[in-house]
Amino acid sequence: MLLFVGLGNPGAEHAGQRHNIGFMVVDAIARRHNLPPWRRRFQGVASEGVIGAQRVLLLLPGTYMNESGRAVGEAVNFLKIAQSDVVVFQDEVELPPGKVRVKTGGGIAGHNGLRSISAHIGNDYRRVRIGIGHPGVKDLVHRHVLGDFAKSEQAWVAALCDIVADNAPLLARGEDASFQNKVHLAMAAKGFVDKDDKDGASKP
C-alpha cells in the first residue's frame, strides 16, 4: 500500500491558494484514475484505488497545514505503511512556477506541513515539490503562499495538475526520476517551463 498525501488548508476560503497546490494535484490524480468518492478517514478525506498496478490511498488532511502530520501519522500507523511508500505533494517557493522536483528526505525549508509530517512519521518519505515561485522579498513570502493563484497563473496550474495525474503511475511504481523528467518535458512542450533547463529534467 502506498500513501499519496496532498498538502493544503481545508475550507473553501483556502481552495485557490498557492499553499493548496498539493490538494489540487492529488484531487486531479483521484479524478484521472477514477478513484472512489472522497470519504472521511484519518482526520481528513481519503480515496483508495489502483494506480500503476499499485494499491494507493490518497489523503487530504482535514487539519490545517501545520498539523498535517496528525492525519498522515494516523494513516501510516493504521495501514503499516513504510516511510518510503509515503509520497507528499507540496508547494515549494524556492522553485519557479510549474517546475517539479522529486526527492526523498532532506530538509523541510520552513514548510510547516513537512515539519509536522516529519515529527509524526520521520523524515525519509518522498516529496513531490511543486514550484509556486518566490515573491522576491522574504517578508512577502507568507502573503504570497496564502494568496490565490492569479488569473494569469491558472493555465499552468491546470496543465500541471493534468500532467502530474497522467504520470502518477510512475510515482506509484517508484520511478521518481522518470516521473520528474516526463512532467518537465510535458510542461516545457506547453511553454510553461524552460525546455533548456537541464536541471529540471535531471534525476532527483
Give the whole-angstrom CA distance, residue 50 versus residue 146: 33
Per annotation, catalytic residue among 14, 19, 111, 142: 19
**Whether 33 is catalytic:** no
Provide φ and ψ at 96, rounded to 5°. -60, 155
Which of 189-196's residues contact partners 24+ apart within 8 Å by CB, and which partners? 190/156, 190/159, 192/97, 192/98, 192/155, 192/156, 192/159, 192/160, 193/96, 193/98, 193/99
Give the whole-angstrom CA distance, residue 132 versus residue 30: 22
Q: Give me the active site residues, please.
A: 19
